[in-house]
Structure 1
Amino acid sequence: MDEMREGEQRLGFDPGDKGVAQITFIGHIRSDWARGRAPRNLTQSREQGGGRARIELDPAYACGLQGLEVGRWIWVLYWMDQSRRDLIVQAPRHGSGPRGTFALRSPARPNPVAMALVRVTALDFETGKIGIDATDAFDMTPVIDIKPWFEGIDIPPAS
């Protein structure tokens, strides 16, 4: 069992055992990162050179890249397959005490879905390979979806 920090709480079940939906992985993130030597977030990844980040789609999905362009920002949704799923209250090392999972960007969550806003640096429409400016994901992390970033939609309204 993974180590627990003071103040953390574990669910009494494995959320993966309660699954009702199916997800198809459309490809994988490729990077230089692995457990123990990955940056904590995209800012750190960019500071460390980005990890030679790229996405390799299953070739069946390559035609779905039509309309994307180098330089464009995209949302990448990915499945953090090496993360814990049983922590509902966590004690982050950088925080000032325990917090609920839904108040954190931690990879440990009931459904280990992450999203990252990245810039497209290269596109190969035939092979489905996408260069991206950075990732904090481990090599071979499964990709769930890719969506374009739109300024008029993805920026919160002014308060």
Structure 2
Amino acid sequence: MMDVKPELCAKIVGRVRKPDDDTIFIQIEDQFWDATLNMEKFSHIIVLWWITEKDRTLDRMNLTGTPPKENAELSGVFATRSPRRPTPIGVSIVAIKRIVPESKKIIIDQIDAFDNTPIVDIKPYMPSSDRVDNAEVPSWFKDNKPRYTTY
């Protein structure tokens, strides 16, 4: 039987760092560096990060919103990418450019998080299970230009 906890607690395993316009990396906390073993064998990772800018009571109570697209309909936050949600977790798929063990850094191509944003988990991107070939989306998202990481 599972031990159900009434309140969850996420650990900060690292932080997004953007020291200048050309450099983006994830600074892994010392105690979690061993968790990166064999990460260099992957080209991409999935980064889960805490949306600190929207971690306010009012934002967490927000359950609906209209996506910033022409003709978009009012939708529940679980049907949007809104940062205003009950649990403000962001998800980004990024390319690994280089791993620097001496300084515990994962140099990445891009991420839509601010400098010093807490990272709560990292997973390897697996094309066999993390991709959907024929996904359906509402009409207001059909004209989105692909924003795939290209590194």
Q: TM-score, normalised by structure 2?
A: 0.73
1 CA distance for matches of 2:34 and 2:85? 32
Q: How does 1:121-132 map to 2 (within 5 A)?
A: 121-132=97-108
Q: Contact conserved, 1:74 with 1:120, CA < 8 A, in 2?
A: yes
2 CA distance for matches of 1:29 and 1:70? 21
Deviation at 1:31, TM superposition (A): 2.5
Residue equivalent to 2:10:
23
Higher mean alpha-carbon deviation, 134-143 vs 148-157, is at 148-157
Deviation at 1:89, TM superposition (A): 0.8
CA change 1:151–1:97 in 2 (3 A) is closer
Which residue of 42, 63, 80 maps to 2:34? 63
1 CA distance for matches of 2:30 and 2:43? 21
Deviation at 1:22, TM superposition (A): 1.0
Q: SS state of the match for residue 30, structure 1?
A: strand
Identity of aligned residues (%): 29
Q: Contact conserved, 2:25 with 2:107, CA < 8 A, in 1?
A: yes
Q: Contact conserved, 2:42 with 2:124, CA < 8 A, in 1?
A: no
2 CA distance for matches of 1:124 and 1:145? 18
- Structure 2 residue 69 is the aligned partner of structure 1 residue 94: yes
**Per-residue CA shift, 1:38-91, capped at 9, x if unaligned?**
xxxxxxxxxxx7x63210011111121110117611000111011132210112
Q: SS state of the match for residue 23, structure 2?
A: coil
Q: Contact conserved, 1:122 with 1:130, CA < 8 A, in 2?
A: yes
Q: Displaced runs of 4+ in structure 1, greater than 4 A?
A: none
- Structure 2 residue 114 is the aligned partner of structure 1 residue 114: no
Q: How does 1:128-143 map to 2 (within 5 A)?
A: 128-143=104-119
- Structure 2 residue 120 is the aligned partner of structure 1 residue 153: no
Higher mean alpha-carbon deviation, 94-103 vs 142-151, is at 94-103
Instruction: Tell me how large the CA RMSD over aligned residues is.
Output: 2.4
Q: SS state of the match for residue 152, structure 1?
A: coil
Q: TM-score, normalised by structure 1?
A: 0.70
Q: Which has the higher contact order (CA 8 A, sep 6+)?
A: 1
Higher mean alpha-carbon deviation, 23-32 vs 140-149, is at 23-32
Q: Contact conserved, 1:58 with 1:128, CA < 8 A, in 2?
A: yes
Unaligned runs of 5+ in 2: 1-5, 136-151
Q: Contact conserved, 1:85 with 1:108, CA < 8 A, in 2?
A: yes
Q: What is the aligned length? A: 125
